Structure formats: C-alpha cells, structure tokens
Amino acid sequence: MNARVPRGIRDNLRFLVAEVESQVKNLGIYLKTGSPTVALRVLDRSGYAHNLKMRIHDSCISRLARGKEDAAGTLTLRALELIATDLDRITELCRECVRHMMSVERRKHLKPKAYRRLLNRIGQGIGMVESVVMESNTRLALELGRIEHELDKDYRKLLEAHTAALKRKKSTEDLISGLFIAHAIEQMGTALRRVSESIISANLGQPVHMERYQSIQASVARLESPEALDDLRVESIAETRSGSTISGISRPDGAGRGKRRRRGESEEYVAVYKDGPKRKLKEERAGVESWHEIYPGLAPRILSYHKRGQSAALLIEHLAGHTFERILLHEPPELLAKALERLSETLRSVWRETRTKKAVNARFMRQTAKRMAAVYAIHGELERGDSRVCGAKMAGFDTLLDRAERVEERLRAPFSVYIHGDFNVDNIIYDPLEKRIHFIDLHRSRYMDYVQDVSVFMVSNYRLQILDAPLRRRIMRLAREFYDFARKYAREEGDATFELRLALGLARSFTTSTRFILDKSLAQRMFLRARYLIEQVLAVDPKRAVDFRMPIQKIFLE
C-alpha cells in the first residue's frame, strides 16, 4: 500500500495522525487536571482535523475521477478516505468527552485512572497508524485491530463499577456523564478497528472486516504456512441470496496453484472461501459430504470448516473449468454441445446409482405458495384476486395454486433419486480438459423427484436477462434440448406422469424466480407462463393424465 499512497495524501495523513494523537493526549490531561485551558485546546481545534480529512478525501476523489487507477490503486484510495474519516471521528469523540466532563460537578465520583488506561490504549493504536499504512503491514494492522478487544474488556469493568455506583442513587448525573465519557472512548477503539480493516482490505484486494479476515486466516492456515498468509489475495466471486459471500483465494505472485490472471484469462485459485450464516454453511458441508458418500467425485472437497458465533466459513477445493452459464453465454457452440452431453451422461449415472423405489411428491404448488409473499413484495402488480372479464370468471393466481395443489396430491414420482436441490446453470461446472461435471452450492441436496432439478435448470436458462436475439435463441434451444433428454429418460424408466409434474415444476420455478428479477417485462412473461402451465394441468382429465404433453415450444420460444 505504501507505494500507492500519493505524496500529497501521505503528508496530509501524517499531519492528521499527529493532530489526533495530540487531541487524545490533551483529553487525558484534561481528565486528570480539569484545566479549562486544556479543554479549550481540544474544543477549539475541530476545524483543523476536519480540513485535513477533506483534503485527503478531495485528493482521493480527484485521482479516482481520472480513471487511471487499477483495482489495487482504487482500493487503496478508498481505504485512505475511510481511514481519514475514522481518524477525524476520534477527534470528535475527544470533544464529546470534554463536553461531558464539563457537566460533572464532583469529579471524585468518577474513575480518572480507568479513563486514562482506556486512553493509553487509544494512544498506542494511533501511534501505530502511520507505520501500518506506509508499510502495508497486515500483521501490524491486526495488532491495531486487537486494541478494540482489550479496550472492551477495560470498558466493561468500568461499566460494571459505574452501574454498581448508580444503584446507590448518589451523584447519578455525574455517574451518567462518566458513562458517556467511557462509551465515547470505547467508540474510539471501534474507529481504530475500522482503520485496521481498511488497511487489511487494501492489502487483500477486497473489502473485508476483522472477523471475516480472522475467519479466512483460520481457514487458510490449514493449507499455507503462517508466513505465507500475508501473500494471499481475496477476490469476490459471488454473493448468494442466502447471505453468504463467495471469494477466491489466490496468490499475487502466481505461486502454487493460484496465479494472477492476465487480461482475458480466467483466475486460478488456491481455494474458494465461503462465509455466511452458520446454519447455511453447516447445511452445505453436510450436502457436500453426503455427495462424497453417495456419488464420489462430483462435489468439491471441503478443505476446512470454521465457525464463530452464528457465522461460519468453508474453505472449498477450487474446481477447474467453467460454469455452465459461462459456457452458454461466452463459449463456442461445440463446447456447449460437449458440456450438455457430459451433463446428461452424468445425470443419468447419478439417477441410476441413487435411485430408490420410494415414491415421492415434490409438492411444487406448496413450495410456490410459501414464496408468494416474497414475490408480491417485489411485484405487487402480479397480486390479483378472482375477477370477471366480460362476465366470465377468472381465477386469481392464488386460487389456481390451491386447485393445482389438490391435483398434485395424486401426482407422485414412481421413484426418488438424490438431487442437487438448486440446479441453476451457475451451480454446474464443466472441465473441458478432464471432460468432467462438478456440482457446487449443495446445501439443498436430498432424495427427491428428479423433476425438481430438471425444472430449475430449464428456468434458470430462461431467466437469464439476455436481449441479444441470437444468444437468446441459443438459450431457449438449450432448455428444449435438456427437456428432450429428461423426457427420454422418463420414458425409459416408465415414468408416466413426468410431463404433468414437469409442468408444475416449471410453474413453480417461473413464479418463484420473479422475486429475484426487477425487470418488469421479464417477470411478467415468466408469471404468465406459470399461470398458463397451471391452467393446462387443471384442464387435464385425471383419467388421461398420462396423455398430457408439455407445451414446450410455446413456453421456450426462440
């Protein structure tokens, strides 16, 4: 980071650090002596720190506006903006402490030594800031971030002492002011922790908070020597709708498996790091482990699992190849054809190996009903009740769901297989060199009707927001080809109600996917297709259910 700090910003940052250090020292003197002169030194210098902060901000914005910074330079400038803001915030908190102290009538009720202990920790941290920034020292940044933890322990002791004194109901106003002072100093520790996070983010190449960095460290330490951790870079790959973040762990120098990509090349990672809610990550770990037991080689290996409170992290084997979505949108037709052929072969093998005789009902309509509140929250215009058009009754969508759910009770898959559970085009990876398929994001895997995966895959193609006409035709063609594969499999296995269940499965996926789409036109087309499919199913004579055929050409138009 040091080489990337422009001289003008570096000089203003040095002045700002010196000013903050001076303000904290003056606050300590005032808390000890109560000198009005020292109080004024703190209160009268608010403009100087603010001006230094604004100079740093203006310089950073000016350089960013030129558009000449690379990704690392951009992260550095943004980090410097945040650091300047947090340093200025410490001076604001110093002034806040002085104002609270000025309202105290009898200082003997407070604990000045405890305050000085807190301020000494703050002073220690401020003294580290310049070195941390200029040396790009991640380890020193971590030490800076840990100051908040030690500060919090001292703050809790002080809080307990003041709370106990307040219960005696003597000098309550002074004690409350003392609590405000202690809290303000504790907030200075939070500002220092944010400074630390800004520096670590710039060094890693991705915004990251302290807890997440420590989780990354704990996860990656099983792969790397402690000395090598500082060389790792974290690059965001995706964010899931469940609140998890997915990042690639790589090396800037190209050592090991990970190497920095050149323009036009794909990144190679040491591993993939995923963090988020503990429940979701625990489910994913269980899903991956179950795939290894049931069908080895399809899922990535879990390299480490780390949990902290209600959060958790997985370090997952990086799989070579491309997602099916990338192949569909960016690769030659020949590669897409090979990927689809290999995917079909893999699914046939999985379904054959994991098949059980237990009949199962996916209850697509019940799944849909549970998500309708979320759909209507995004697309309120789709929520319509029963109505009449030219005297003819028109059932509302929720009414159709109720009717279809009753019909679906009679529709059971004659067997169950182990499914992916979230079979979107971005959760399937094809390695063209090894000619292998891999599955990722497996927290919903279970024994179920294979039609669930078939319908999710088909709709995940449809909902890609692509306007280019030739590419759009290619997407629709892939969906129909996958349907042909699944229908052929169903006939071979004697699955007579495959088409009816697929219609309901597609209706479910078309409907529920709209809650992730803000394009009103696309959402409307998907919703109307769902309604049409449900109406087609409801119109079927139960005695002739096996004769139903999916109107595939109408649904997946070129």
**Predicted confidence band at 283 (pLDDT cuts at 50, 70, 90)?**
confident
For the chain, the domains span 2-205, 214-316, 322-555
Query: What pLDDT is attached to residue 224?
Result: 54
pLDDT for residue 258 is more than 70: no
pTM above 0.75, yes or no: no
> Contact at 8 Å (CB) between 323 and 423?
no
- % of the chain with per-residue pLDDT over 90: 48
CATH class of segment(s) 2-205: mainly alpha
pLDDT for residue 519 is more than 60: yes
Query: What pLDDT is attached to residue 109?
Result: 62
The Cα angle at residue 61 between residues 60 and 63, in degrees rounded to 5: 65
41 residue type, one letter: R
Query: What pLDDT is attached to residue 421?
Result: 94
306 forms beta bridges with 313
306 residue type, one letter: H
Query: What pLDDT is attached to residue 10?
Result: 87
Query: What pLDDT is attached to residue 464?
Result: 92
Helix or strand holding residue 272 (H, E):
strand 271-277
Pick from 85-89, 183-187, 389-393, 526-530: least confident: 389-393
**Predicted confidence band at 408 (pLDDT cuts at 50, 70, 90)?**
very high
What helix, strand, coil percent values describe the chain, rounded to 5?
Answer: 65, 10, 25
Query: What's the CATH fold of domain 322-555?
Result: Aminoglycoside 3'-phosphotransferase; Chain: A, domain 2 (3.90.1200)
Report the C-alpha gap between 479 and 346 in whole angstroms.
Answer: 17
Query: What pLDDT is attached to residue 391?
Result: 76
CA–CA distance from 519 to each of 453, 461, 476 (Å)?
A: 25, 16, 19
The Cα angle at residue 258 between residues 257 and 261, in degrees rounded to 5: 130
Query: What pLDDT is attached to residue 526?
Result: 95
Query: What pLDDT is attached to residue 215?
Result: 58
92 residue type, one letter: E
Pick from 240-254, 372-386, 467-481, 526-540: least confident: 240-254
SS3 445: coil
Higher-pLDDT residue of 435 and 170 is 435
Query: What pLDDT is attached to residue 506?
Result: 97
Q: Tens digits of per-residue pLDDT, 357-388?
A: 999 999 999 999 999 999 999 999 998 888 87
Residue range 384-399: mean pLDDT, rounded: 85
Query: What pLDDT is attached to residue 206?
Result: 60
Smallest CA-to-CA distance from 189 within 290, 128, 121, 265 is with 121
The Cα angle at residue 453 between residues 449 and 457, in degrees rounded to 5: 155
Report the C-alpha gap between 444 and 52 in whole angstroms.
Answer: 52
Residue range 489-504: mean pLDDT, rounded: 96
Pick from 6-10, 277-281, 463-467: least confident: 277-281
Query: What pLDDT is attached to residue 318?
Result: 81
Query: What pLDDT is attached to residue 349?
Result: 96
Query: What pLDDT is attached to residue 374?
Result: 93
Q: Tens digits of per-residue pLDDT, 156-213?
A: 888 888 788 777 767 778 888 888 888 898 999 999 988 888 888 787 766 665 555 5
Query: What pLDDT is attached to residue 58?
Result: 93
Q: Tens digits of per-residue pLDDT, 209-257?
A: 555 555 565 555 555 544 445 556 666 665 555 556 676 776 655 444 4
Residue range 130-155: mean pLDDT, rounded: 83
Query: What pLDDT is attached to residue 324?
Result: 95
Residue range 403-432: mean pLDDT, rounded: 94
The two tokens of residue 343 are: 């995917």
Query: What pLDDT is attached to residue 367?
Result: 96
The Cα angle at residue 190 between residues 188 and 196, in degrees rounded to 5: 110
Q: Are strands 436-439 and 428-431 parallel, antiparallel or unpaired?
A: antiparallel
> Contact at 8 Å (CB) between 484 and 434?
no
Query: What pLDDT is attached to residue 257?
Result: 40
**Predicted confidence band at 317 (pLDDT cuts at 50, 70, 90)?**
confident
Higher-pLDDT residue of 131 and 404 is 404
CATH class of segment(s) 214-316: alpha beta
> Contact at 8 Å (CB) between 183 and 143?
no
Helices and strands (H and E) in the chain: how many: 18, 12
Query: What pLDDT is attached to residue 210?
Result: 54
Higher-pLDDT residue of 262 and 251 is 251
Query: What pLDDT is attached to residue 231?
Result: 58
> Contact at 8 Å (CB) between 249 and 272?
yes
SS3 468: coil
**Predicted confidence band at 73 (pLDDT cuts at 50, 70, 90)?**
confident
Report the C-alpha gap between 473 and 158 in whole angstroms.
Answer: 68
Residue range 118-126: mean pLDDT, rounded: 89
Smallest CA-to-CA distance from 93 within 189, 187, 22 is with 187
10 Å Cβ neighbour count for 241? 7
56 residue type, one letter: I
pLDDT for residue 503 is more than 60: yes
Helical spans, DSSP H, in 514-543 = 520-538
Give me the chain's average pLDDT, please.
85
Query: What pLDDT is attached to residue 475?
Result: 95
Pick from 16-30, 257-271, 478-492: least confident: 257-271
Residue range 518-537: mean pLDDT, rounded: 94
Query: What pLDDT is attached to residue 238?
Result: 59
User: Which residues, 6 or more positions from 222, have their beta carbon under 8 angstroms from its beta carbon?
Assistant: 303, 304, 315
